[in-house]
Amino acid sequence: MTDIVEYRKLFIGGEWTEPAGDDIIEVVSPHSEQVVGRVPHATPEDADRAVAAAREAFDKGPWPRMPIAGRIEVVTRIKDALAARHQELAELVTLQNGSPILFSVRGQALSAVGVFATALAAAAQFKEEDERQGTGGPVLVRREPVGVVAAITPWNVPQLTIAGKLAPALLAGCTVILKPSPETPLDANWLAELCADAGLPAGVLSVLPAGRETGAHLVAHPGIDKVAFTGSVGAGKAIMAAAAQNLTRVSLELGGKSAAILLDDADLSVAVPAIVGGTCAANSGQACVALTRVLVPASRYDEVAAVLTGAFAGLEVGDPSDPASVVGPMVTKDQQQRNLDYIRIGQEEGAKVLTGGGIPEGRTTGWYVEPTLFGDVTNDMRIAREEIFGPVVCLIRYETQDEAVALANDSEFGLSGAVFGADAERATEVARQVRTGTITVNGFRLDLAAPFGGYKNSGIGREFGPEGLAAYFEYKTVNLPAPAKA
């Protein structure tokens, strides 16, 4: 894709309509630093129109009242269209946010297809209501859609995070207002076209590319029944505070500072590729689940440091449209500077740069940061405690297994993690002790059929699989008449 991708209207209530304001969002390629797209910037007034359309469609329209088999049919068409056009979607994501193309295919486009598929599988097993025996007689327990959903998604994996909200919300019978990040609005508008072609009824979906002001207006709107958000801890806390004014339901998937524990018998031929795949190769480190703290037995520290240093130093950094590139640019210049600032802070704190530590040599265009591995890190350093969101990883020594677990848990976050060891049962037992939402034994995986979310400041609620679908229902108890006594 070389031409500028341009939208001049907003997708509100299922139709492309004129925006209320004149502001434009220009999408800039993180690789070329050239404008590659333009979309209207949605205003609070546009948000009001979207809420009104969604409210009308939910309160009076056919979508929530349709048998779930009918919704499954429409959502299946969306999933199938995503699958058929996944390469086109991957190229669009790479264009706007700089994800290396192989990651965009697998981690952006095909992962979205996978989320739709697992949500559909969960919906196929769904029961709208069931009867059970209560303490005073029979009761009917109904599952009804939560209502109008505001889905607010980030720039790093836009289609994966959209799918995690849109697929279950639609299948539950909700109507959705999607507010994508202003850095990555192109794929959201592209998806709106696809959903319209799939036959979503009027009002069921709106897309509002916008910044914080419109997002804040949407979250605080009394017409919203649930906010589903993926993003930073700070933004999540602000959303929760605003939603509390209307007692709006919230689900929040926030940041991470995940630990990879290498036990003393860990096989480095297994651990190192997984750590590379879960850090620098995961969207150039711009992933909330990244394994950014690597906990290493002191007895094997030098060995692990040498092997990981070589692995990081050998990663191909470059044009994200080139299939050979493993690490691409940061999404914005500010994000590049954030990473460089943390690299400086780490050195000032006494950590040692084992490889990387700056902008790749000869790279004068694009917002690139070298894959950077820090050694001699202690868990109280800022680089070990704060989410950097880039290809920057910390090596931390430990003496005992209990200390490793304590270090892993000594974090305000609890989103992901990994444990590596030759004895799988022992490694699994260690995994059970880490307070985190997802953890992998001898690998790095985000399973789209299993619940995903965080402990502590990593969020509230779960996405994906049956648990992700359940998050979009309210439960109603209908007390039935007791049977007449004989």
- The pLDDT of residue 3 is 81
Residue ranges covered by each domain of the chain: 5-254+459-476, 259-447
Residue range 259-447, CATH number:
3.40.309.10
Question: Residue 407: which H helix or E strand, with range?
Answer: helix 401-409
Mean pLDDT of the chain: 97
Res 2 pLDDT > 70:
no
pLDDT tens per residue across span 322-340: 999 999 999 999 999 999 9
Beta strands in 304-404 (DSSP E): 352-355, 372-377, 392-398
- The pLDDT of residue 486 is 64
Residue 270: exposed, middle, or buried by beta-carbon count in 10 A (0-12, 13-18, 19+)? middle
Confidence of residue 246 (pLDDT cuts 50, 70, 90): very high
Mean pLDDT confidence for 438-465? 97
Confidence of residue 408 (pLDDT cuts 50, 70, 90): very high
Q: What are 28's two structure tokens?
A: 């800039």
Task: Provide, for the chain, the percentages of residues in helix, strand and coil under a 3-state DSSP scheme, each rounded to the nearest 5.
Answer: 40, 20, 40
- The pLDDT of residue 485 is 73
Res 276 pLDDT > 80:
yes
Is residue 280 part of the annotated active site? The answer reads no
CA dihedral defined by 383, 389, 116, 442, rounded to 10 degrees? -40
User: Which of 174, 280, 288, 394 does the annotation list as catalytic?
Assistant: 288
pLDDT tens per residue across span 157-179: 999 999 999 999 999 999 999 99
Confidence of residue 461 (pLDDT cuts 50, 70, 90): very high
Res 83 pLDDT > 90:
yes
pTM of the model as a whole:
0.96
Q: Is residue 45 left, alpha or beta, with left meaning phi > 0 and alpha meaning psi from -120 to 50?
A: alpha
User: Which of 174, 195, 253, 394 does the annotation list as catalytic?
Assistant: 253
CA dihedral defined by 433, 451, 438, 334, rounded to 10 degrees? -140
Kindly provide the b/e burial profile for residues 135-169, where b requires at least 16 CB atoms within 10 angstroms of the residue's own CB.
eeeeeeeebebbbbbbbbbbbbbbbbbbbbbbbbb
pLDDT tens per residue across span 188-226: 999 999 999 999 999 999 999 999 999 999 999 999 999
**Cβ distance 208 to 181 under 8 Å?**
no
pLDDT tens per residue across span 94-117: 999 999 999 999 999 999 999 999
Residue range 5-254+459-476, CATH number:
3.40.605.10
pLDDT tens per residue across span 30-44: 999 999 999 999 999
Is residue 288 part of the annotated active site? The answer reads yes
